[in-house]
Amino acid sequence: MRLPRIAILISGTGSNMEAILKAAVSGELPAQVSFVGSDRLEAKGLSTAAALGAQTRLFFYKRDGRAAAEEAIARAVEETQSDWIVLAGFMRILSPEFVRRFKGRIINIHPALLPSFPGAHGIRDAWEAGVTETGVTVHLVDEEVDHGPILAQERVARTPEDTIETLEAKIHAVEHILYKRTLKEFFENNPVEAGQWEDEKMETRKALISVWDKTGILELAKGLAAHGYEIVSSSGTAKHLEEGGVKVTEVVEMTGLPAILGGRVKTLHPTIMGGILARRGLAQDEEDREKFSIPLIDVVVCTLYPFEETAKSGADLDGLIEKIDIGGVSLIRAAAKNYYHVAVVTDIADYPRVLDELDKKEEFSLEFKQELALKAFRCTASYDSIIYRGLCRELGKADETEGEKVLPLRMEQKLRYGENPHQKAALFMPPLERRPFEQLSGKELSYNNLLDLDTLLRGCSVFQDRCACTIVKHTTPCGTACGASPLEAFKKALACDPVSAFGGIIGMTRKVDLETAKTISETFFEILAAPDFEDGVVEYLSEKKPNLRVLKIVQGYAPSLQIIGNRCGFLVQEDMLPALPTEAGGEWHGTPRPELWDDIIFAWKTAAITKSNAIVLVKDGAAVGIGGGFTNRVDAAEYALKLAGEKAKGAVMASDAFFPFADSIELAHKAGVAAVIEPGGSIRDSEVFKKAEELGLSLFAGGSRTFRH
């Protein structure tokens, strides 16, 4: 004797199924649920069944028709060696042919006292008939609707206080108890023999394994084999598995054809692809399988050729092309498409989960196969995107703002949280690119650190021709300066706005020496970034300021496109500054001041990395006042001039966009500013230029607009 195996069919919430399944799991009902099947993908009961550890299956009445769907049910019953079919709210009338095929093995529960009120609306029909007593019937199914030998009945009284809803609730409560009790008694009185299925011809389940990365594959193959899977493989994978003691069926044994074209074609064959794509129970597919002797493949395990690693290694074009996987991607996509029937495994991290699923359930639940399929499609989408990016780089083709965007991203680092503690966040990088910094010491980087770091890296880039320092707070500079040494540059940058600089981040364009590091450590900063550090500097800062994040900037990373996601969609633009202003490319209004040109360019660069509206004052190679992120330009000018104070006298002023009115020019003149650079382009340019000339203020128009929102 053995435990009976039952297949449960549902269409909706599956409350009776849930009661039966829980009883089977707890041992209250001496039975094993082989699978829970439904005719509806949206059936809530499927999720409940999966959560309770049951295998789930779908049968497509609408898509394939009743005959094909019933054939699929029949094959599922036979494949799982189910002894009994238990209907638990299955809202389909089984055909006489199906009932005859499983005569005496189909059990149903009906919410009425049969033979009264058969059909889909037994409770409603009894209510409308005005009966004072209804009930529940458990019966064996015969070829008539809601008919067959009655196994048990229980009456339910209808009281004057009842509504149809309360009556329905009482009936369902009785169902959950009566069905379990009746099934238990029925199974005890109708035991199944241990060898009942021995004469059935069962097709061995097959797992196709084709992996480039062999990590963990031997353990997975052994686990699958232990669960009765025949392992199918070829080439290097087959050799690796056989050397590890796994019995392998070579692909050539199934296809009759060896690998050809130097190994480019191995698994791309109708026998293999047909075995993966065949829809279980679909008559046409079954006929084709039988006609062409195509065995089913139930599991596909595949990792792809290492295109990304090959691209990173500096391989030439021929080497890259040979690492474009064709067969593997085809296997993965086919298996993922047919996830109702096939489990596809593409992530080595999922190997233990696959075996755990089999250990617990003997089969893969629909939800698990769905999860694996989605991951598989993500895998192939990312793989193709990496190939596109790698070939673009190798062929010298730049991505442009127009056209579809292909942007694979890999999680580089999980962050503690986003801008605020309630927001999850992580740092992602394109697969073929390296992170533009290396952290040498200090606390873990935060989301806000990385936002600020974007501005800092831009500052280090635009000032890389000078020994310069940029200090950033809340994504906008609060100090920039150049100097004869890193220490001088830092001191001058800090002097611009020492209050805002507290808690900010620092970027240097030259190697940081110990004296500069000691001076920096006297104030609280979050990050110090530089292209390099003299010996002993990192060790000193690590001990003196253990929370200070010390970053070594990796030169050369500058994405060609900037992509920003917001609630409107994704905005894509070229990520570059315009060409530097030249005296020949613009026009002076008032007296030209070529002797101030270095400060003018330094101010223009600082404004270009400052949040709009941006006004920057520079004197002697250092920003002395920065107004950024204001909603109007005159407020930005007032703030920058306030910060500068007396240093505004003889300074130059830069604006990231045109002056719409002459008010900022008047403020600059009043503070003693010597020269102004702005792009021009306002409808009131003539008024602004005229006012500058009247006040004796030199104004250069010709610097391109550099908004940063």
> Pick from 569, 564, 570, 528: which is nearest to 545 by CA?
528
Burial label, 429 (beta-carbon count in 10 A; 0-12, 13-18, 19+): middle
Tokens for 173, please give them.
């409560």
CA 650/CA 381 separation, integer angstroms? 58
Tokens of 47: 């999720």
Taking the CA atoms of residue 576, residue 574, residue 582 and residue 495 in that order, the dihedral angle to the nearest 10 degrees is -40
Active-site residue identified among 474, 511, 518, 690: 474
Contact (Cβ atoms closer than 8 angstroms) between residue 482 and residue 468: yes
201 is catalytic: no
Other CB atoms within a 10 A radius of the CB of residue 564 amount to 11
What are the angstrom distances between the C-alpha of 200 and each of 290, 292, 414?
Answer: 17, 22, 52
- Helix, strand, or coil (residue 151): strand
Beta strands in 161-317, from DSSP E residues, in sequence order: 206-211, 230-233, 248-250, 299-303
For 315, the 3-state DSSP assignment is coil
Question: How far is Cα 677 from Cα 562, in angstroms, rounded to an integer?
Answer: 27
CA distance 627 to 617: 9
- Residue 415 identity: L
CB-based contacts of 196, cutoff 8 Å, min separation 6: 83
Instruction: Report residue 276 CA to chain centroid gap.
Output: 26
Whole-number Å distance between alpha carbons of 644 and 641: 5
Residue 197: exposure state from Cβ atoms within 10 A (0-12, 13-18, ≥19)? middle
Establish whether 369 is a catalytic residue. Answer: no
Active-site hit among 22, 214, 227, 337: 337
Catalytic residues: 337, 474
